[in-house]
Structure 1
Amino acid sequence: MTDSNGLSRRRFLQATGGAAAAAALAGCTGEPSGNDSDGNGNGSGDDDSDMEPQEGGTYRKINSTISTFDPVAADDTASGQVVQQVFDGLMNYPNGETEVTEGLAEGYETNDDFTEYTFTLKEATFHNGDSVTAQDFVYSFNRLAGSPHSVRTYFILDSLGVTHETDDEDTYSDGSLGVEAEDDQTLVITLDRAFHASLQMLAYSSFAVVPDGIVGSLDDEGAPDDPSDDYQTFSESEPIGAGPFVFDSWEKGTSAAATRFDDYHGETAYVEGVQWQVIEDTQAAYNYAMEKNVDTFGVPTAEFQQSNITNAEDDEQGRTSGQYDSVSNGEVVDYLKVPEVSTYYFGFNTREVPKPVRQAVAYATNQNQLANEVYKGRVSPGYHLTPPLVYPGEGEAYNSHVEDAYPYGQESDIASAKEVMEEAGYSEDDRFSFTFTHYVSDTWSQIAQILQGQLREAYIDMDIESAEFATLLDQGEQGSLQAYTLGWIADWPEPDNFLQLINPEDTYTGETGVLTYTNWGREEETEASQAATEAWQTISDNLEPTDEAEEARNEAYIQMEEANWEDVVLVNVFHGATERFSYDYFHAPKFGAMGPSRQKYNTFWLEQDVEDRPDEAADPNETTGNESGE
């Protein structure tokens, strides 16, 4: 669903029990799966086998609870995993790499000011046998902008900025979108202004194409709480796309399946199909994988040992591949770890927590300790809001800026925390108290307790509360949180996707479009909040995909990072990574930093005639005793 301000709740990340990657489709949101803290592994290492790919078999994996197969309504990773296989769009992140390539687009041109994109479409076929045309994209994009079920309206109207009209209530006017079919194979998209990440946005699965008129007009779709019969059929039992797999079945809360699409416009899948088994409990999912009921899986942090990784090699993208010796069933399995474009942080409501206290928290926070002790080295310490993979500059620019300019050190500095508090008038007899709210998880509870113990010495009493994810977001939007923890994974792999979180105007609780609940400079503008506002204006004034505009943006990005360091609106804590474990008969390309949710399974393959691989997955309730698959 969409929250009251029109922003999907999947824009935020929860870090739970392991290496914290986003569980959501990239962007946004959702619960972390990365190291497969939720057990929902997706792929394995690089397919460097000398064997020729073999056809046949079903790729079996674990998933969380699926809610929909409508691309514009999918706001959870579980649904998105299926959507990615059933649907295709104009552009694609091949294997989750950060560089986009054409999907259903055969090529494109732009006008001189980058406000008009003309795409030539490939010859492709929907699963129902109809040809994919430009008019199908017009219909699909109009649904993204105006469907009552769309949770990504802001992607097309705000982030991408496609021209459109609104009514007196500032609501999108049906059919006004600047998307036109010149002919069956030519699509023209017109933007309000240039946007340097236009092609990246179009690779997001919300922009996938569906057949023209498949659920009728926007008025025919029904409300989210009262969908029409046609909409319900499309979103639950007969989703029709142009992806490498055809939807087959869905047993709510239990499993879903798709079969190979033989008329796919790209490389036809090697495997005959895909089966997603729904198991929510992390340990139950791991136990299920240990009986070889799935081909890829995750290892919970409680079971994980860094010393078990053997034959590890790093590539130029910082990905680590090797073996894990061994999992609890005694098997040596393939291992892949991929840094992701994400950041997790502590946030502060500046109305409630004064700057000296925020600075004291920054001094007390030991990012290395949290990454290496709590997460067992499965994530990397974070000091910028912008992840290293998209930080402006080359090579060691991220680390060099931290070493040269980060004011709070890279270890816990309680002496400086006490000093800044004493300068503000606090003492043992005059302590400050605030409440720190984290998402329900053992890992965040451990982090909170470490921070609580360190802050006691600095005249700060930190109460700890936990809340369900939706509750935490509700409290944040209402302005009732004092301090909290959340995270962000890239909608598009550029710094501005992250730094919009600290554009002061986007931090005001109770206002439309709030991204962080910090109220930075709301009552009293500070030098740092003014600097951030001015830097964001520079970014907004230089959105063209040109070298000159990029240089201006890069300078402004660093200004925003340093403004945040000054006022400590967010304490950045770590950057996530995604780990995958797989049995040795499974083969797939490595995925990239945009994550496995971007990876299509048509190039995955399974060695046939594997003796100890069950032909069919067992019932997880019988296998593991798990009853939480709902």
Structure 2
Amino acid sequence: MGNIDRRAFLATAGASVSLTVAGCTGTDDGAGERTTLNVGQALSPVHFDPIEQFSNPDAIVGNRIYSSVYTYTEGYDVEPELATAAPEIERDNTRYTIELRDDAQFHNGDPVTAEDVEYSITAPVEEGTPLASLFSPIETTELIDENTIQVDLENPFAMFEEVLTHHVVPKDVREADPEAFGTSDPIGSGPFQFVDWEEGNFVELERWDDYWGDELPALERVRFEPIDESTTRITEIETGAKDVIETVPPQLWSTVDEMDDTTIYDSPSVGYFYVAFNCNEGPTADARVREAIDYTFSMDQAVERYIEPAGERQHSPIPTDLAEEWDMPVDEWAEIPHEPDLDRAQELFDEADVPDDWTATILVPPDDNREEIGLTIANGLQEAGYDANVERLEWGSLLDRAYTGNADDYNIYVLGWIRYADPDDFMYNLFHEEAEEVNQGVYYRDPDVQEQIAQARETVDVDQRRELYIDAITTLLEERVHLPSYNYYNVYAAKNYVQEFETHPIGPVNPRLLTSYNNVTLD
């Protein structure tokens, strides 16, 4: 984030953001000490290969297995993990030289080498995975020696050091059997190693006693179980069957809050949930139709009804706390959405010659709250005289359809984005044409906006980046390419016997079971 004070941002974002670490009802040793942690996830992971993009359920497990060149501190700064120090940056911010620790090993005993780092940051582009846009600025890599790598970029890339928090994988192991690596035999260099996985039922990890870090985890085992039904998750934490659960739904917030032996951990997260339009084909390719849809319902009321107190209204693609830290005009952007006005909506539909028999297709993931947002839009369209189908799809089916640009597949989709604390991560992946079909399906190709996003990525001047982003975001909001919706707080509920329970604003890095500042134990 250049000259932005990340520690100041952390103070405004909440010094801790919820973490999926947890206590335990599990294994005791002879002295009665509890050393197994049971975590109730909201959704099941589907793979453990970080070269492919992790969804949040994947990351909750995978981030315990793998290490990174750099990792996050308590805030948004990064510190060495596999690296010995900060990178040496030369050649006008386009050359990074990184030295690795010589004692780090993977779970199979192989050393972590510069070649493994090189593979981990180049494979996403070579294989065309959803992470390719993060690593596409890399021009060349050079292995100086077994523990030193030089990375040259085509242009300055302001958030490249944060990108180096990406996990490092053992090249030889993954190349030998990529499918097994992502499912039955993931091998990393983190403090926990993979034991077993039954998709939809559980994942089990155990402490890696040969961990090369400064401290071993206090926990001996961690068991993650997906519980997609919210009321069941709440029952599990209430009865003590789970020590921690991921997410507390708004409608059950007071139930958990009133439990004497359980604490809710919540604070703003680096996330963004939104309604996106197909700007490539069909009626929603016309900005008048997108504006008409904005007139058919109240996003404020939908967020108040379905999201609060587990989250808050958001008015731009940049998380509110991050946007405010960057001194962006958040209050002005909040004035752009319209109040409901069905007469004005119908005028715009008529101007755009939308046929009376049009039926909008709205895609939503397997998430009750985003489904409610989709249903709210459908109800508004029906009040304006148009039919709408809300299709709730499993993740694989949803992503196969939502990014095609084909009006037969979708007109609208409701999704979210959570990853790095830099505007580029949201703007490039959600709006730039290079991310089409991979991370977004809006196909909005206004040349000025495309150029502004690209320029902002390639400069390290914070003031220049700010102005470029403000211009691009204002256009995107006025054109209703997205209707920003809300941002969840990072919310977990944990039993009070969980000690050193820490949370982090960047949701995918949670749960942090062992860091430079915490080591979770069970009292």
Name the TM tier (shorter chain).
0.7 to 0.9
Contact 2:113–2:147 (CA<8 Å) still a contact in 1?
yes
User: Residue 115 of structure 1 aligns with which residue?
Assistant: 94
**DSSP 3-state at the match of 1:305:** helix
**DSSP 3-state at the match of 1:418:** helix
Q: Aligned in 2, Cα 1:399/1:56: closer, same or farther, shift over 3 Å?
A: same
Taking the aligned partners of 1:373 and 1:489, their CA distance within structure 2 comes to 21
State which of 95, 102, 112 in structure 2 corresponds to 1:132.
112
Contact 1:448–1:464 (CA<8 Å) still a contact in 2?
no
Matches for 1:197-236 after TM superposition, within 5 Å: 197-205=159-167, 208-210=168-170, 213-215=172-174, 218=175, 220-221=176-177, 227=179, 232=180, 234-236=181-183
Q: Aligned in 2, Cα 1:607/1:345: closer, same or farther, shift over 3 Å?
A: closer
Contact 1:360–1:418 (CA<8 Å) still a contact in 2?
no
Matches for 1:220-619 after TM superposition, within 5 Å: 220-221=176-177, 227=179, 232=180, 234-262=181-209, 263-298=211-246, 301=249, 304-306=252-254, 324-326=257-259, 331-350=260-279, 351-353=281-283, 354-391=286-323, 393-394=325-326, 397-402=328-333, 406-409=335-338, 412-414=339-341, 417-419=342-344, 421-422=346-347, 425=350, 433-439=358-364, 440-455=366-381, 459-468=384-393, 469-476=395-402, 477-479=404-406, 480-500=408-428, 503=431, 505=433, 513=437, 515-520=439-444, 529-540=446-457, 543-545=458-460, 549-595=461-507, 597-602=509-514, 603-608=518-523
**DSSP 3-state at the match of 1:249:** strand
**DSSP 3-state at the match of 1:447:** helix
Cα deviation for residue 506 of structure 1 reads 5.1
| CA offset digits 1:506-547 (Å, max 9, x no partner) | 58xxxx6564333435xxxxxxx344234234325xx233xx
Cα deviation for residue 109 of structure 1 reads 0.4
Question: Which runs of no fewer than 5 residues in structure 2 stay unpaired?
Answer: 1-16, 24-31
Taking the aligned partners of 1:383 and 1:255, their CA distance within structure 2 comes to 37
Taking the aligned partners of 1:245 and 1:393, their CA distance within structure 2 comes to 35
Larger deviation: 371-380 or 260-269? 260-269
Q: Aligned in 2, Cα 1:449/1:271: closer, same or farther, shift over 3 Å?
A: closer
Cα deviation for residue 555 of structure 1 reads 0.8
**DSSP 3-state at the match of 1:304:** helix
Question: Which runs of no fewer than 5 residues in structure 1 stay unpaired?
Answer: 1-34, 46-53, 164-177, 310-323, 522-528, 609-630
Taking the aligned partners of 1:423 and 1:69, their CA distance within structure 2 comes to 47
Q: Aligned in 2, Cα 1:261/1:566: closer, same or farther, shift over 3 Å?
A: same
Q: Aligned in 2, Cα 1:413/1:605: closer, same or farther, shift over 3 Å?
A: same
Amino acid at match of 1:473: L
**DSSP 3-state at the match of 2:390:** strand
**DSSP 3-state at the match of 1:373:** helix
1:195 matched to 2:157: yes
Q: Aligned in 2, Cα 1:138/1:426: closer, same or farther, shift over 3 Å?
A: closer
Amino acid at match of 1:268: L
Identical-pair percentage: 18
Q: Aligned in 2, Cα 1:595/1:588: closer, same or farther, shift over 3 Å?
A: farther
Cα deviation for residue 569 of structure 1 reads 1.7
Taking the aligned partners of 1:91 and 1:496, their CA distance within structure 2 comes to 19
1:151 matched to 2:124: no
Contact 1:343–1:385 (CA<8 Å) still a contact in 2?
yes
Cα deviation for residue 368 of structure 1 reads 2.4
Taking the aligned partners of 2:124 and 2:130, their CA distance within structure 1 comes to 6
Taking the aligned partners of 2:152 and 2:432, their CA distance within structure 1 comes to 29
Contact 2:292–2:349 (CA<8 Å) still a contact in 1?
no
- Which of the two has higher C-alpha Rg? 1
Taking the aligned partners of 1:423 and 1:121, their CA distance within structure 2 comes to 59
| CA offset digits 1:257-295 (Å, max 9, x no partner) | 222234331332111221223444444333333331221
Taking the aligned partners of 2:522 and 2:305, their CA distance within structure 1 comes to 38
Cα deviation for residue 105 of structure 1 reads 0.8
Amino acid at match of 2:336: P
Q: Aligned in 2, Cα 1:268/1:504: closer, same or farther, shift over 3 Å?
A: closer
**DSSP 3-state at the match of 1:289:** helix
Contact 1:93–1:599 (CA<8 Å) still a contact in 2?
no
TM-score, normalisation: structure 1: 0.68
Taking the aligned partners of 2:53 and 2:432, their CA distance within structure 1 comes to 29
Amino acid at match of 1:344: F
1:60 matched to 2:8: no
| CA offset digits 1:316-358 (Å, max 9, x no partner) | xxxxxxxx212xxxx4411111222222222222442233332
**DSSP 3-state at the match of 1:466:** strand
| CA offset digits 1:536-582 (Å, max 9, x no partner) | 34325xx233xxx3222211111111112222121111122221101
State which of 162, 165, 169 in structure 1 corresponds to 2:138.
162
Q: Aligned in 2, Cα 1:425/1:136: closer, same or farther, shift over 3 Å?
A: closer
TM-score, normalisation: structure 2: 0.81
**DSSP 3-state at the match of 2:252:** coil
What root-mean-square deviation, in Å, do the aligned CA atoms of Structure 1 and Structure 2 show?
3.4
Taking the aligned partners of 1:303 and 1:247, their CA distance within structure 2 comes to 35
**DSSP 3-state at the match of 2:205:** strand
**DSSP 3-state at the match of 2:471:** helix
Q: Aligned in 2, Cα 1:425/1:188: closer, same or farther, shift over 3 Å?
A: closer
Amino acid at match of 2:142: E
Taking the aligned partners of 2:187 and 2:398, their CA distance within structure 1 comes to 35
| CA offset digits 1:470-502 (Å, max 9, x no partner) | 333333315124532333324432222222356
Cα deviation for residue 430 of structure 1 reads 8.6
Taking the aligned partners of 2:199 and 2:337, their CA distance within structure 1 comes to 49
Cα deviation for residue 460 of structure 1 reads 4.1
Q: Aligned in 2, Cα 1:519/1:198: closer, same or farther, shift over 3 Å?
A: closer
Amino acid at match of 1:42: T
**DSSP 3-state at the match of 1:532:** helix
Taking the aligned partners of 1:259 and 1:121, their CA distance within structure 2 comes to 25
Contact 1:115–1:192 (CA<8 Å) still a contact in 2?
yes
| CA offset digits 1:138-171 (Å, max 9, x no partner) | 3444544546xx835505642xx222xxxxxxxx
